A and B are shown apart, each in its own frame.
Chain A
Amino acid sequence: MESIAEYLPQHPFFAGLDESVAALVAGCAVNVHFRPGQHLFHEGEPADTFYVIRHGRVSLEVHAPAGPPVVVDSAHDDDVVGWSWLVPPYRWLFDARATEETSAIAFDGACLRGKCEADPAVGYALLQRVVTVMSTRLHSARIRLLDLYGASR
């Protein structure tokens, strides 16, 4: 299996990233694997990891006192999970649970933040990509808030 540094430029999130930058951030990363039903993280836990899904499926859920958790988003092959590592106080805002055998790359948040602060150009490259993901997710969430498919008033 190729190294993380070799794999990263093939992943859509890192497309166009300079090879040297890819190698740099790869230094913060390890391969991880989740079994079906296994949580990646829980709401409220320290958020110091950034996940890049290679293969599998992750539910992003919100749990409530009554009833099963509601799935508010899903991450699949080539998606990324989590930007709370960029936003103080660095705490997860929801649960993430693998629903299939899921292989991912986990980046250490503190390590990534350090590399960004040391070289703003690296920081900008990463932030650009994260903001694009956030923009898509925010737009999706806002439109779903309209409940377009719900019954009319």
Chain B
Amino acid sequence: MADTRLITLEGLQSLVDALLAEGYTVIGPTVRSGAIVNAPIRNIDELPRGWGDEQDAARYRLRRRDDEALFGFAAGAQSAKPVFFPTDELLWRGRRTPDGARLEVRPDEEADAADSETGPPYALLGVRSCDLSALGIHDTVLTQRRFGDAHYATRRADAFVVAVACSDPGGTCFCVSMGTGPRPEQGRGAPFDLSLTELLDGGHRFVVEIGTERGATLLDGLEAAPAPAADLDSAAYVTTQAEQRMGRRLDTEGIKELLYASVDSPRWDDVASRCLSCTNCTMVCPTCFCTTVEDVSDLTGHEAERHRVWDSCFNADFSYIHGSTVRESTRSRYRQWMTHKLASWQDQFGSSGCVGCGRCVTWCPAAIDITAEAAALRGTPGSHLPPAGAPVTSPDD
């Protein structure tokens, strides 16, 4: 039985104040430009109180709720990914002497600038279970292999994570299919320090599950009482009802073998006729990690910087080599992305690359749905595996 407390709205503000007092930049969901966007906050009034969302393939709208829920929406436009894995990272600065001989390379010591208003350490407020799993996947990909991303590791080590259970999954959510939600579980994905479940009936309050010593210490400072049993039951119900309201479903049975065997499937031509190769899906996906490097120098050519910036396998020159591109067609790029996300990722990192957050479906301007594509591959003749339930026949039968 997890160690739980109960806090009120005032208690939540005190939590934010305590984090700010410890020097964290608190990043939480806010309403901006018609979407839920993560931004530094100082007051819970900045959270999306009374806002919900409607999501479907190529559709995202905010809607007014008839209550005052602070977290009554599904996946925001971005996950926690850009906090720890910025779109642009300065790797080093170098200098070459005017005669072109000496090369001096300095690691970037001024990254994550001294701006205490928006710089690290970061406290994330309101991380969904799917995004927590994604963070755990990034921890594996970026810090637990032979070579690691030291910048990322430092930001992650210092970060305080307040997760939140989902009450209103969206039209594109399928965390249940991917086994990543809707309730954050310690030990699944990245660890959380605290996890909130918002309750509205009978007073606006939050059941807080304590995940770490650090989280416990912070809560102790708020003098929060243990959560009563009835509230624990209500909190559990929040996510059990959410489990029944997933917008999408993805059958993960044998998905790796299915994708590996579907290399010649005509379905790829079908999706290619719709895909614009716009890279939106990879930008909003919380587990995508591809980057490229940009070398820039000043006009004299003597000072140079190397930056690491986000890239996408849908970009034309992603696979450029020897004067041409390996993945020239949109067909091959979509195949690469989906096969990597659902199949090769498993061989590489021991888990699926997809956490079921639904962002790639919501933010695709062509309404391409990864769950529909997976289902189509299962059912399409020539994908080499019979549809689930169909008898297996051979040519001699």
A and B touching (Cβ–Cβ under 8 A): yes
Residue ranges of A at the interface with B (Cβ–Cβ < 8 Å): 152-153
Give bound CA distance, A153 to B323, whole Å: 5
Q: Which residues of the other chain, A, contact B324 by a CB distance below 8 angstroms? A: 152-153
Give the number of chain B interface residues (Cβ < 8 Å). Answer: 3
Q: Does B102 contact A (CB under 8 A)?
A: no
Give bound CA distance, A152 to B324, whole Å: 8
Query: Quick one: closest A residue to B321, CB to CB?
Result: A152
Q: Does B322 contact A (CB under 8 A)?
A: yes
- Chain A's nearest CB lies how many Å from the CB of B323? 3
Residue ranges of B at the interface with A (Cβ–Cβ < 8 Å): 322-324
Which DSSP category, helix, strand, loop or mixed, fits chain A's interface? loop
5 A-B interface contacts by CB (under 8 A)? A152-B322, A152-B323, A152-B324, A153-B323, A153-B324
Give bound CA distance, A152 to B325, whole Å: 12
Q: Which residues of the other chain, B, contact A153 by a CB distance below 8 angstroms? A: 323-324
Which DSSP category, helix, strand, loop or mixed, fits chain B's interface? loop
Query: Quick one: closest A residue to B322, CB to CB?
Result: A152
- Chain A's nearest CB lies how many Å from the CB of B108? 34
Q: Which residues of the other chain, B, contact A152 by a CB distance below 8 angstroms? A: 322-324
- Chain B's nearest CB lies how many Å from the CB of A18? 38
Give bound CA distance, A131 to B66, whole Å: 82
- Chain B's nearest CB lies how many Å from the CB of A148? 10
Give bound CA distance, A153 to B321, whole Å: 10
Query: Quick one: closest B residue to A152, CB to CB?
Result: B323
- Chain A's nearest CB lies how many Å from the CB of B326? 13
- Chain A's nearest CB lies how many Å from the CB of B309? 25
Query: Quick one: closest A residue to B324, CB to CB?
Result: A153
Give bound CA distance, A92 to B322, whole Å: 38
Q: Which residues of the other chain, A, contact B322 by a CB distance below 8 angstroms? A: 152
Give bound CA distance, A153 to B322, whole Å: 7
- Chain B's nearest CB lies how many Å from the CB of A51? 40
Give bound CA distance, A152 to B321, whole Å: 9
- Chain B's nearest CB lies how many Å from the CB of A4? 50
- Chain A's nearest CB lies how many Å from the CB of B81? 35
Query: Quick one: closest A residue to B323, CB to CB?
Result: A152
The 5 closest A-B pairs by CB, nearest first: A152-B323, A153-B323, A152-B322, A153-B324, A152-B324
Query: Quick one: closest B residue to A153, CB to CB?
Result: B323
Q: Which residues of the other chain, A, contact B323 by a CB distance below 8 angstroms? A: 152-153
- Chain B's nearest CB lies how many Å from the CB of A11? 42
Give bound CA distance, A152 to B322, whole Å: 5
Give bound CA distance, A152 to B320, whole Å: 12
Give bound CA distance, A143 to B324, whole Å: 18
- Chain A's nearest CB lies how many Å from the CB of B117? 49
Give bound CA distance, A66 to B323, whole Å: 31
Give bound CA distance, A152 to B323, whole Å: 5
- Chain A's nearest CB lies how many Å from the CB of B321? 8
Give bound CA distance, A48 to B324, whole Å: 46
- Chain B's nearest CB lies how many Å from the CB of A147? 12
Query: Quick one: closest B residue to A151, CB to CB?
Result: B323
- Chain A's nearest CB lies how many Å from the CB of B261? 30
- Chain B's nearest CB lies how many Å from the CB of A152? 3
- Chain A's nearest CB lies how many Å from the CB of B219? 61
- Chain A's nearest CB lies how many Å from the CB of B324? 7
- Chain A's nearest CB lies how many Å from the CB of B325? 11
Give bound CA distance, A67 to B323, whole Å: 30
